[in-house]
Chain A
């Protein structure tokens, strides 16, 4: 029987190879050989189907969707994430670090836009980024979707293209959208092992504090905590039975919907630190290959005020300093380089360095309020 299945799968593979587009068939399993070179068409992996009229994704068996409490901003693109772990394998839970998923794991992230954020009638799927665990470590692979949304093509060179959409305020925004080239995956996903000095790629999102939230899985599962579900389907071992022991990052949806004015100081601090963590700390942490130079460490668990940027002169910010002297001047967002750089859309000054061309207005307002709320520091406060 097993032999027959394997044969069928092989036959399907060969028979379809001339079809263009090949299409996805969710009655068949995922196809992913971690040792093989990148698939030229995303459909070769048979991961999901999607409907451009409803913007819904239907995932294959063993492809489990998830979302994050606070996510990386990418010009307001909507994202749909999912993970595939091969049969008989599982990842290991870690309270802080990215979960250790086995070779053969595939993480996917779809980037798509509704035509109108207020009342979408159609959706455009722009790109799908795969992060795959090969025998040589994790690797990023960009796929760009055809105009007709039927399939996506392997695009190691990435792409820059304008994308317009109507935002929640009814205004049209136009992103100079960057599909990162393959090497640029490492701009965020590369860390240095402090023990060996070697660089390695790693997932960012699949960490306990980002995944610790409810998600509507639909069907028989319904609304459940994501960590529980990943444990139940066997993708994760070692998940604590009492999830109240597990850290939980701030849920940014609350700010996206209601703003941040209602937050007390503690919640404001948490929201700001968690936003900086997921948007900045992949580089700005003590082991971030391209962020070490700055000495600005925005990981949520950094406890050094200096490395957080308080009264810290920039290392070599150049244009990015905007004429300001310190990364953060507590109480004064208009004197703080951090605020300048996340608000700027000047390519020479803005942060993050790539994959943003618009200001994340809800977040920059949050970070302004946070800097305003910080106790005045004599070392760098303006003398009046």
Chain B
């Protein structure tokens, strides 16, 4: 009889597995799926076991979290190499920091060869998953979220690799962050693909990062969709970033950032490249990003020149071929945006620029208020001589290349290191295809972009 019963239960279990596969949600990860030397399984919701485990790890260990919610009152810290932190799927294994009294990140990692996979991190006080100063980092099928929806008091970053090398972020979700949902900061060699970012202030940010391929991501209903920029003072000078084959849709969310540079982003921004060089933006779909689909901006729009000074001795990564502006002995500046190539994007924008309090948004509102559609590419023109009468006589010293239906150069200027805004629309040059000269170039001065095709 008991044997019969067992057979029956087995049959049921088989059936259950079959159903599980059908609904496609759960991952059913096992220790045997991972090649690490050690594997620790954490029972569903056993917070103490999880925190004990991460603090007594040996290198080269998989931590396998059973499905369930882990109500954490502390950061999950990892400081070993070769660690896999693996759950049973997005929304199946949930690390929830809602009741965590201490500050801090959800998952906080320093350690080479780190993998996080198949889990959700919810309601972290600061960053959802922060991986810092590590080489070989994979985020795969995870979600970082704040469950009350967009809110100023939500944590800053959802998925946050920083100061790391060889980083892969794929098939993941980041939502409701009060700064950036998916934020790659100061990294070298990066692939970001097939992720979904929604209802963040900035959906997907590539900051001070070298050699990045960002493709097949979906950014919807953020304040800004997918952006690339340098911040002042960070020792990695951004370069060689490719943004392609992404969907960047309806990024018109109210800006709910509590402060900082990101609070300056006007709602309705698809993509901008700010203080960036060697960036290629192509084959993306832009729909209804009301302020601007693609903007090219000088870093002085957000911060004064002095703050952009970098000591060459402190710089990490390659800059020798970048021809950055120099200052006193041993000082370079990275506020300029140069060598930007924008082509073959599918852009439709049914809205018009909305008047909003941010300076740049205001300018856009003045420029385009009442017009049916904003120009597809907006270039601030800092450093250029703008000829509104004969646009083709406008200079292109920053080597901006554009192959899109329309473009505007705003004629922002520099006086004594201070940014000046155009006094009248007479300082603005507008371009329509096919007459895009002098911006009709189609290559980078220093040769093709270098981005990783695969990571070790």
Closest to B127 in A: A318
Residue contact A319 to B79, C-beta cutoff 8 Å: no
Residues in A whose Cβ lies below 8 Å from that of B101? 160, 176, 347, 357
Residue contact A183 to B102, C-beta cutoff 8 Å: no
Q: Give Cα distance in the complex from A348 to B178, angstroms.
A: 12
Q: Give Cα distance in the complex from A322 to B152, angstroms.
A: 11
Q: Give Cα distance in the complex from A40 to B367, angstroms.
A: 70
Residue contact A321 to B110, C-beta cutoff 8 Å: no
Q: Give Cα distance in the complex from A182 to B53, angstroms.
A: 11
A311-339 vs B, Cβ < 8 Å mask (1 yes, 0 no):
01111111101111100000000000000
Min CB gap B129→A, angstroms: 15
Residue contact B74 to A158, C-beta cutoff 8 Å: yes
- List residues of B (88-105) whose CB comes within 8 Å of A's CBs: 100-104
Binds A, one of B10-18, B254-262, B283-291, B346-354: B254-262
Q: Give Cα distance in the complex from A316 to B156, angstroms.
A: 9
Given known A313-B303, A317-B260, A318-B178, contact A183–B54 (CB-CB < 8 A): yes
Residue contact B186 to A293, C-beta cutoff 8 Å: yes
Min CB gap B156→A, angstroms: 3
Q: Give Cα distance in the complex from A353 to B163, angstroms.
A: 19
Which among A156, A295, A317 is the interface contact of B55 at CB below 8 angstroms? A156
Closest to B180 in A: A316
- In the complex, whether B275 has a CB less than 8 A from a CB of chain A is no
- In the complex, whether A290 has a CB less than 8 A from a CB of chain B is yes
Residues in B whose Cβ lies below 8 Å from that of A322? 258-259
Q: Give Cα distance in the complex from A298 to B82, angstroms.
A: 33
- In the complex, whether A35 has a CB less than 8 A from a CB of chain B is no
- In the complex, whether B155 has a CB less than 8 A from a CB of chain A is yes
Binds A, one of B29-37, B229-237, B377-385: B229-237
Closest to B314 in A: A286
Residues in B whose Cβ lies below 8 Å from that of A295? 233-234
Residue contact A315 to B55, C-beta cutoff 8 Å: no
Residue contact A348 to B307, C-beta cutoff 8 Å: no
Q: Give Cα distance in the complex from A283 to B75, angstroms.
A: 18
Q: Give Cα distance in the complex from A158 to B73, angstroms.
A: 11
Residue contact B153 to A319, C-beta cutoff 8 Å: yes
Residue contact B55 to A318, C-beta cutoff 8 Å: no
Interface residues on B, range: 35 or more
Closest to B302 in A: A313
A222-249 vs B, Cβ < 8 Å mask (1 yes, 0 no):
0000000000000000000000000000
Q: Is the interface of A mostly helix, strand, loop or mixed?
A: loop
Q: Give Cα distance in the complex from A314 to B258, angstroms.
A: 13
Residue contact B52 to A157, C-beta cutoff 8 Å: yes
Closest to B54 in A: A183
Closest to B51 in A: A157
- In the complex, whether B325 has a CB less than 8 A from a CB of chain A is no
- In the complex, whether A190 has a CB less than 8 A from a CB of chain B is yes
Residue contact B231 to A315, C-beta cutoff 8 Å: yes
Given known A293-B186, A323-B259, contact A313–B307 (CB-CB < 8 A): yes
With an 8 Å Cβ cutoff, the count of chain A residues facing the other chain is: 43
Q: Give Cα distance in the complex from A186 to B235, angstroms.
A: 23
In the complex, which of the residues B51, B153, B235 has the most CB atoms of chain A within 10 Å of its own CB atom? B51
Which among A318, A323, A353 is the interface contact of B104 at CB below 8 angstroms? A353
Min CB gap B255→A, angstroms: 13
Residue contact B234 to A293, C-beta cutoff 8 Å: yes
- In the complex, whether B56 has a CB less than 8 A from a CB of chain A is yes
Which among A157, A292, A313, A379 is the interface contact of B48 at CB below 8 angstroms? A157
Residue contact B258 to A354, C-beta cutoff 8 Å: no
Residues in A whose Cβ lies below 8 Å from that of B234? 293, 295, 315
B216-252 vs A, Cβ < 8 Å mask (1 yes, 0 no):
0000000000000001111100000000000000000
Min CB gap A320→B, angstroms: 8
Closest to A344 in B: B103
- In the complex, whether B179 has a CB less than 8 A from a CB of chain A is yes
A295-320 vs B, Cβ < 8 Å mask (1 yes, 0 no):
10000000000100000111111110
Which among A313, A314, A316, A347 is the interface contact of B103 at CB below 8 angstroms? A347
Residue contact B55 to A182, C-beta cutoff 8 Å: yes
Q: Give Cα distance in the complex from A357 to B231, angstroms.
A: 31
- In the complex, whether B194 has a CB less than 8 A from a CB of chain A is no
Given known A293-B185, A353-B104, contact A317–B259 (CB-CB < 8 A): yes
Closest to B47 in A: A157
- List residues of B (141-167) whose CB comes within 8 Å of A's CBs: 153, 155-157, 162-163
Given known A160-B74, A318-B259, A318-B260, contact A306–B307 (CB-CB < 8 A): yes
Residue contact A176 to B156, C-beta cutoff 8 Å: no
Residue contact B261 to A178, C-beta cutoff 8 Å: no
A126-166 vs B, Cβ < 8 Å mask (1 yes, 0 no):
00000000000000000000000000000011101000000
Query: What are 28 sample pairs from A and B whose C-beta atoms fall under 8 A apart?
Result: A156-B52, A156-B55, A157-B48, A157-B74, A158-B55, A160-B74, A176-B102, A181-B51, A181-B74, A181-B75, A184-B77, A289-B132, A290-B132, A290-B133, A295-B234, A306-B233, A306-B307, A313-B303, A316-B185, A316-B260, A318-B179, A318-B262, A319-B259, A323-B258, A325-B259, A346-B103, A347-B125, A353-B126
- Which residues does A use to contact B, with CB under 8 Å? 156-158, 160, 176, 178, 181-184, 186-187, 190, 192, 199, 289-290, 292-293, 295, 306, 312-319, 321-325, 346-350, 353-354, 357, 379
**Sample of 10 further A-B pairs with CB below 8 A, known A157-B48, A319-B155, A347-B103:** A157-B74, A190-B110, A292-B235, A306-B307, A315-B233, A316-B260, A317-B260, A318-B156, A322-B259, A348-B103
